[in-house]
Amino acid sequence: MAVADTPHAGEASEFGDDSLQLCCFFLGDLLCGIDICWVQEINRNLSLTQVPLAPEYVMGIMNLRGRIVTVINLGRKLGLTPGTLGGRSRVIIVNHREEYIGLLVDRIDDVLTIDSRDIAPPPANMEDRKGKYFTGACKKGHELISILDVEAVLVEE
């Protein structure tokens, strides 16, 4: 499933300056969202080639129509329960500095449009390491969506 015609990061969406579209997904029981401007596509191709000596959160690489995509286990990178291949897991392909990176997630949820005024800071009880990867949180019904800071996740440590 490809995500087409999305504005680039920093551009106003067609929904106005005060709204944000989130691509929502689960890491275990944690509901997360990323700004849809980051998303190139969502892929179910889970055929990966291992990369020797890569960090433990790098699951491998995949070929996406001639482009090499590094796939990371987002749960492991965030210090949460590592995701597993198979079932409902998917790879969210993001464009980071002209390089495609795949984020393995346990399952995809909805794309939501939220009012940016409804975004609260990340909960204070998040550990420093995990908390640095999130820009805020918002509600979806009775659920809390943790908004992922893609830049923070993909910057080398």
Write down the pLDDT at residue 132: 84
CATH number of the domain where residue 106 is located: 2.40.50.180
Residue at 1 is within a domain: no
52-92 residue pLDDT tens: 999 999 999 999 999 999 999 999 999 888 988 888 999 99
Share of the chain above pLDDT 70, in %: 83
Tell me the pTM. 0.84
Does residue 103 have a pLDDT over 70? yes
Q: In this structure, what token pair is assigned to residue 22?
A: 């989130």
Residue at 32 is within a domain: yes
Residue at 119 is within a domain: yes
Domain that holds residue 114: 21-154
Total domains, the chain: 1
104-123 residue pLDDT tens: 999 999 999 999 899 998 76
* Highest-pLDDT range among 5-9, 44-48, 127-131, 133-137: 133-137
Nearest to 16 by CA among 95, 101, 115, 87: 115
**Confidence band of 15 (pLDDT split at 50, 70, 90):** very low
Tell the burial category of 80 from Cβ atoms under 10 Å away from its Cβ (0-12, 13-18, 19+). middle
Does residue 13 have a pLDDT over 50? no
Least confident of 46-55, 56-65, 148-157: 148-157
**DSSP labels, the chain:** -B--SPPPTTSPBTTBTTEEEEEEEEETTEEEEEEGGGEEEEE-----B--TT--TTEEEEEEETTEEEEEEEHHHHTTSPPP-SSTT-EEEEEEETTEEEEEEESEEEEEEEEEGGGPBPPPTTS-HHHHTTEEEEEEETTEEEEEE-HHHHHS--
* CA distance linking residue 82 with residue 91, whole number of Å: 14
